[in-house]
Amino acid sequence: MNMFLLLLLVTYIVAMVNSLFAYNVPYNIKQQFLDTDKPLNFTAHARIYGQRAVEYEVQTEDGYLLGLHRIPGRRGLPILLMHGYTDTSDTWIVRGYKSLGITLASLNYDVWFGNIRGNRYSRRHVKLNPDKDASFWDYSFHEYGHYDLPAIIDTILSKTGSAKLNAIGHSQGNTIFYVLGSTRPEYNKKINVLTALAPICYLNNLPPPLSKIELYGYEIIGALMKLGVNEIFGDVSPSGRAAKAICERPEVGYAICVLGAIFSVSGYDAEEFPPYIFDVVIKHYPAATSRKNFNHFWQVAVRERFSKFDYGPEKNYVEYNSTIPPDYNLKAVTMPVVLIAAKNDKVSLISNVEILNQQLPNVVAYKIIERDLTNHVDFVWGSNMYEYLFPYIFAILRNFQ
């Protein structure tokens, strides 16, 4: 009986907290979201916002099949948008008419939306079965940058006849360009300018709860290995199904998954990410990553170095001819880079962006958003991105034509 009363009390408190943040949103603002009760794929989602999207299948050198989306346009160079951790191309359009992808498309830019291996649109391989072959998941952000990005970039340049493209990456979506530029330097000349939103490279001195995950990362990774968990937060994975089961419950989803989880990691900003936005986002996010990718980011945080994957001394020697993994050579990343950071971003700390700014040889602009509460997810899901973010992106596109 005591346990029942406790559960009842917790449910009541959660519901009350949820109601406190259920803002009275003007009806016309809510109508920007035309999504249905069922999750739509990218092309169907773009269609309800008046955009005709097409999808391409891209094959990487190592056999992964990636979904690449495009909303065709005629203005300027093609623009490639690359999503962040456990995300997909959907992230750039889920905010409807106020999203960056739909906004750029409405301005007649030729917008391309990449997907990295393993996510909802790229869970395929010429030989490997993601549900049966553990080797399908043997990758981290290194493979995203070394294999996936070249295949995506070459496809875009081939389809458009352009020699270069503009790139915009959010979080991990810009990390992989640093891998690309350092390991395949010939691709630097194919990037007209990279706009790095919430730049992720160094992960030093992260605040809680990420610092707690960092502290117990070895045990977490060991447990996942013992359980045979290779896919994290995928649609059919236990972690993904559990996340959806909790987060899609209207009475507790926002309180637990946003107030309790997303904001604790990314920075608190309920004004920019109220419940009615979350209700759309949760239909599309999260969308899978690998245990090895989580491990690689953990290694970067613990070692305080932006280095290749650490396999242990023996295998490191086979892979790298060294017992320790080498650092990525950021001095080789000669593509023009614009860094855009936020003071309330608890993942992309200003102190770490400063280190990246010093390491990259061709940072052409570095901007810290004036709005104090802007956090890590506001760069893709914020209600008012058009006020505090889009003007900088438009200026970059004008200045680097």
pTM score, whole prediction? 0.91
pLDDT tens string, the chain, 401 residues long: the values are 333 333 333 333 333 333 333 333 332 333 455 555 567 899 999 999 999 999 999 999 999 999 999 999 999 999 999 999 999 999 999 999 999 999 999 999 999 999 999 999 999 999 999 999 999 999 999 999 999 999 999 999 999 999 999 999 999 999 999 999 999 999 999 999 999 999 999 999 999 999 999 999 999 999 999 999 999 999 989 999 999 999 999 889 999 999 999 999 999 999 999 999 999 999 999 999 999 999 999 999 999 999 999 999 999 999 999 999 999 999 999 999 999 999 999 999 999 999 999 999 999 999 999 999 999 999 999 999 999 999 999 999 999 98
Mapping DSSP onto H, E and C, the string for 207-235 reads CCCHHHHHHCHHHHHHHHHHCCCCEECCC
Other beta carbons within 10 angstroms of residue 8's beta carbon come to 10
For residue 39, the SS3 value is: coil
**What's the token pair of residue 385?**
């991105």
For residue 213, the SS3 value is: helix
State yes or no: is 148 an active-site residue: no
Which residue reads 């209207």 in tokens?
250
Write down the domain spans for the chain. 2-399
Closest by CA to 263, choosing from 245, 279, 278, is 278
- Alpha-carbon distance 336 to 195, whole Å? 9
State yes or no: is 45 an active-site residue: no
Q: Which fold has domain 2-399?
A: Rossmann fold (3.40.50)
State yes or no: is 345 an active-site residue: yes
- Alpha-carbon distance 376 to 263, whole Å? 9
Catalytic residue among 35, 87, 345, 378: 345
Contact, 177 vs 335, CB < 8 A?
yes
For residue 221, the SS3 value is: helix
Contact, 202 vs 209, CB < 8 A?
no
- Alpha-carbon distance 124 to 143, whole Å? 15
Catalytic residue among 89, 122, 171, 182: 171
Catalytic residue among 83, 237, 376, 378: 376
